[in-house]
Amino acid sequence: MSNPVIGIALSGGTLKAAAHIGVLSALEEMGIRPHHLAGTSAGSIVATLYAYGYRDQELKHLIQQFPGYKLLDYGFPLTSAVMSTFFHAIPHRNRLIQVYPRGLIHGNKLKKYFHKLLIGRECRIPVLFVATDLLSGDPVIMRIEPSNVSIPQLPRALPIHQEELPACLLGSCALPAIFSPVPFREYLLADGAMRHYIPVQALRESGCTHILAINLYKLQYREYLTTFVDVLARSFEILLRESIDNDVVNSGDVLVIEPDFAKIKTWKFTEMIQSVRVGVQAVVKQQLQIEQFLKINPRLPHKMAK
């Protein structure tokens, strides 16, 4: 039997995505290094940093030094919506110029931050990430790979250059109405979680035979709903769960790892390190199952288990 081609799919999850760092670190401690990575939304950031050589201590340092709210450049969505409506209401000879409504956050500072993190580094592992095209509604799968590695030509994946990477990452994370959509080539990119919360299929198309799908979202039981906002939010939660189920439909080539966030009560930039520990614990809990799935020799319990 040939050796497994391992892919790791990192879901979205906003600040919870710090758990992906713990998962990747714990897997590496077990001797597991992926041949391909894929990420959606915040998962695309962690996947890209890992593919560009960031590892356990460096990633934890980034969390501890994360600028947080300093990266949020606030916009004026109502003003931009009026300007966009006015622009499109007037005939123009040159429609190559497009004006799109802004979100509450422009994202320019975040894009510059991504650029800074990647300066002087090269891609080491092929990585794919998912965004959603707001114009067509279709998923947009983008890929970047080491210069000495070639992955199969995926019919749905766009090869991108490193100078395009910060904009593409921002597009994968651009939660509609919160972040401004990101124009990229013929697309208008927004959060990839709307189409593929866990980018399993992209890894299958890359030739991965064994995929670890890291899911940071669980649909919790709600005892009651009190307002129409609760009903609306709950509806979106259910639709997201359906998307997840479609992504990780029962198949012999996928093992799902779901970190447990039950003990984390608040979500702050300063407490992201707790999510890292949760990610480590998830791998330790499923260590035997992971070893059997990947058919690797068992290792001693992870030294970070406590």
- Residues annotated as catalytic (active site), given as ranges: 41, 191
List the Cα angle 209/213/215 in 5-degree steps: 170
- Tokens found for residue 163: 């100078």
Within 8 A by CB and 6+ apart from 111, the residues are 166, 167, 169, 170
Strands 157-159 and 36-40: unpaired
Q: Which of 161, 212, 295 is nearest to 35 (CA)?
A: 212
Q: Which of 249, 33, 40 is nearest to 142 (CA)?
A: 40
Distance CA 202, CA 184 (A): 20
- Partnered with residue 128 across adjacent β-strands are 38, 143
Q: For residues 302 and 306, give the distance between their C-alpha atoms in angstroms, rounded to a whole number.
A: 9
Pair 172, 189: CB distance under 8 Å:
yes
Half-sphere exposure of 49 (CA within 13 A, CB side): 26
